[in-house]
């Protein structure tokens, strides 16, 4: 392991810390704002690893978080959800580097659809059952140890938020 590789992993760990804190936000709007910052850090991390599909997926996630964390009505509409999902599919076609390229795109499409339900329960379910498992596999393949830790921490953070707020109360979180 080189010093450069270790520094790249530390950049990813900063993204992990921010993402972990994001699920402790009860309001979805604040959750998406925190995730915006995390995705920005992870974009840098994945670029430095040379994981282009994951990097571009995170750039689209930055846009998604900007939309969902905003007060703009048009950014919360189902048509914007469709646009973002289409962006993921197009990005996948242009960054294809093997079967594993599908993993971040599929994970992010699931998270996008869940995010656009504006339902905190569905957001967490998609994260725990689809997004994190697919990203863990991708992170193993591209060598993002910080990414693996991020997804494990995200799983833990989602569970903590469910315990902290209660499963039923998450439906009341709203925007």
Query: Residue 172: what pLDDT?
Result: 58
Look up the domain containing 24 and give its range: 3-172
pTM: 0.85
pLDDT band for position 57 (cuts 50, 70, 90): very high
Q: What is the 3-state secondary structure (H, E, C) of the chain?
A: CCHHHHHHHHHHHHHHHHHHHHCCCCCHHHHHHHHHHHHHHHHHHHHHHCCHHHHHHHHHHHHHHHHHCCCCHHHHCHHHHHHHHHHHHHHHHHHCCCHHHHHHHHHHHHHHHHHCCCCHHHHHHHHHHHHHHHHHHHHHHHCCHHHHHHHHHHHHHHHHHHHHHCCCHHHHCCC
Query: Over the stretch 118-166, which tens digit does the pLDDT of each residue have?
Result: 888 899 899 999 999 999 999 999 999 989 998 898 898 889 888 888 8
Counting the structural domains of the chain, the total is 1
In which band, very low, low, confident or very high, does the pLDDT at 16 lie, cut at 50, 70 and 90? confident
Please give the average per-residue pLDDT across 90-117, as a whole number.
96
Which of 63-67, 95-99, 140-144 comes out lowest in average pLDDT? 63-67
């Amino acid at each position: 392991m080189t010093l450069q590789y270790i520094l790249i992993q530390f950049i990813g760990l900063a993204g992990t810390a921010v993402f972990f804190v994001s699920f402790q936000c009860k309001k979805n709007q604040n959750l998406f704002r925190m995730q915006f910052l995390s995705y920005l850090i992870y974009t840098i991390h994945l670029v430095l690893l040379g994981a282009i599909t994951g990097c571009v997926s995170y750039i689209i996630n930055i846009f998604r978080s900007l939309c969902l964390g905003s007060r703009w009505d048009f950014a919360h509409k189902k048509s914007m959800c469709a646009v973002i999902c289409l962006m993921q599919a197009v990005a996948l076609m242009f960054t294809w580097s093997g079967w594993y390229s599908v993993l971040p795109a599929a994970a992010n499409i699931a998270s996008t659809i869940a995010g656009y339900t504006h339902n905190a329960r569905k957001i967490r379910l998609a994260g725990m059952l689809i997004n994190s498992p697919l990203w863990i596999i991708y992170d193993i393949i591209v060598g993002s140890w910080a990414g693996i830790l991020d997804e494990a921490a995200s799983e833990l953070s989602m569970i903590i938020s469910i315990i902290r707020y209660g499963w039923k109360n998450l439906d009341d979180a709203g925007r």
